[in-house]
Amino acid sequence: MLPIDRGTPPDSLASQSPHQTSMPDQNQTSPAERLLPKLRAILGDRGMLTDASDTAPYAEDWRRLYQGKTPAVLRPADTAEVARVVVACAEAGVALVPQGGNTSMVGGATPSPDGRALVLSLSRLNRVRSIDPIDLTVTLEAGVILKAAQNAAAEAGCLLPLSISSEGTAQIGGVLATNAGGNNTVRYGNARDLVLGLEVVLPDGQVWNGLRRLRKDNTGYCLRQLFVGSEGTLGVITAAVLKLVPQPREREVALCTVASVQGALDLYTRFNRSDPAAIQAFEYMSGAGVDFVLRHIPGVSLPFEPASHYVLVELATPRIGAGLRASMEAVLTGAMEEDMVSNAVIAESEAQRANLWKLREEHAEAQKREGASVKNDVSVPVSKVPELLERAQAAAALLMPGMRMVPFGHMGDGNIHLNFEQPEAMDAAVFLAQDHAIMDMVGEIVQSLDGSFSAEHGVGMLKPYMMPSWRGGAELDAMRRIKQALDPRGIMNPGKVLPDAATR
């Protein structure tokens, strides 16, 4: 274990704002650059990328909001190498930015533009260590892609009940570090609800092996939940034990159109009264978002005429002879008789299910192809979703005429991606310069509805400025103390989650 003093953070770790552009003196090498030979000795050539063309994809976020810079991407092969890297960086006071599939929506895994932090890619830690269909657990390394984890569970006759649009790229470490939510939260909760155990490399290089697979374990503080959702600011998650559930025996997916957001809520209530335990996903989509998907994503089609509001609902159960098809039909028929639903289709095959889900899952990609957008990943009590969207639409029209509201998301758990697309004729940079005004406009409404400005994407680099007004006082103070206790030199993912110390 490396003794670490409680001195002031090294200059390389000064907090960064998204718009910061300061660069190191061209003639001086940074502490990170000076550390590279030592790191190469630990990782070997295969474990390091240093060419600018190789590191560039790791230095930019998925949304292309942040162009960072790094002298190297470190690619350790196992937990022991991660620990040795962390010790070396801690000794030298060099910052590390842990990165998985680089799918963050909030710049949570992007290094700052000053080029003084190193990216720590976990992608080579990609083994499924074990899977147990009796205990219903899987032990995975951080770099396993979520889709591969789902497949491994399915091969063992189980379901890993965590599904997000980026699951083909996102890695387990990042999914846990950000406490991802996604489509099945309505039934199984968020990523943290699936975590039984963790292995974490602490900021001083100690390895905490907490890979337990117990359903009950009240032994002191629940450390694993501290690291889940900490966005790489408290340590590096290197492996995890996740809960599995039995594989569904019946599964039904339906797409329908409703007259309004209130209609979508009424339909949700109807499904809930019919068979709450069967609701696997309940997703809302607006006409604007579906239009974007149809325009930009090849091979996706709509089974009926376009509408202004859509619901995608999935029912699933491991019960034998549950009759899900009949209950899906009964709820939809009843809703149609009362004019709550105007059109509805139930998928008849796996291919049709995939097509319906594609309409929903391609929203983020389609929105990106349409132009610049400001995302608001908000949550409110489910009953308040209609009011949220109504008030946001009115406020947006006043703030920026022509701005297109594209709300969609996980209505069943109250998490709406209340995104705004630039007005068609506006320059993207001019639009994005208004990001705080748009986020604050939404934030005010969300706050009045007892909601959250950060439902499932995290705070990252985009939103620390919002922390004092949403989590200020005792809560932010406690978070700062935790950070200081575990990472006194501030080497773990600086500039993310917490605003700089001067901001109260």
Site for ligand MLT, rule CB under 6 A: 105, 165, 363-364, 375, 377, 409, 417
Task: Decide whether 285 or 340 has the Cβ nearer to ligand MLT.
Answer: 285
Shortest reach from residue 297's CB to ligand MLT, in Å: 13
Distance CA 190, CA 177 (A): 12
Shortest reach from residue 166's CB to ligand MLT, in Å: 7
Q: Are 382 and 413 in contact (CB under 8 A)?
A: yes
Distance CA 14, CA 295 (A): 43
Q: Are 159 and 131 in contact (CB under 8 A)?
A: no
Distance CA 373, CA 419 (A): 7
Shortest reach from residue 181's CB to ligand MLT, in Å: 8
For tokens 């490396």, the residue is 2
Task: Decide whether 114 or 283 has the Cβ nearer to ligand MLT.
Answer: 283
Task: Decide whether 112 or 280 has the Cβ nearer to ligand MLT.
Answer: 280
Task: Decide whether 80 or 428 has the Cβ nearer to ligand MLT.
Answer: 428
Task: Decide whether 227 or 284 has the Cβ nearer to ligand MLT.
Answer: 284
Task: Decide whether 375 or 489 has the Cβ nearer to ligand MLT.
Answer: 375
Q: Are 68 and 111 in contact (CB under 8 A)?
A: yes
Task: Decide whether 235 or 284 has the Cβ nearer to ligand MLT.
Answer: 284
Shortest reach from residue 146's CB to ligand MLT, in Å: 13
- Quote the tokens at residue 167: 């699951």
Shortest reach from residue 224's CB to ligand MLT, in Å: 23
- Angle of the 385-399 helix axis to the 435-448 helix axis, nearest 10: 150
Cα dist from 261 to 32, 233, 336, 357, whole Å: 51, 37, 16, 19
Closest-CA residue to 280 (of 318, 237, 329):
318
Shortest reach from residue 369's CB to ligand MLT, in Å: 12
HEC string for 370-384: HCCEECCEEECCHHH
Task: Decide whether 75 or 417 has the Cβ nearer to ligand MLT.
Answer: 417
Closest-CA residue to 147 (of 128, 125, 130, 166):
166
Task: Decide whether 324 or 462 has the Cβ nearer to ligand MLT.
Answer: 462
Shortest reach from residue 133's CB to ligand MLT, in Å: 29
Shortest reach from residue 367's CB to ligand MLT, in Å: 6
Cα dist from 210 to 226, 310, 493, whole Å: 12, 43, 22
Distance CA 220, CA 100 (A): 30
Task: Decide whether 82 or 194 has the Cβ nearer to ligand MLT.
Answer: 194
Question: Count of CB atoms within 10 A of residue 174's CB?
Answer: 28
Sheet with 96-99, strands from edge to edge, namely: 48-49, 73-74, 118-121, 96-99
Helix (H, G, I), strand (E, B) or coil at 344: strand
Shortest reach from residue 408's CB to ligand MLT, in Å: 7
Burial of 501 (0-12, 13-18, 19+ CB in 10 A): exposed
Shortest reach from residue 20's CB to ligand MLT, in Å: 25
Distance CA 379, CA 199 (A): 30
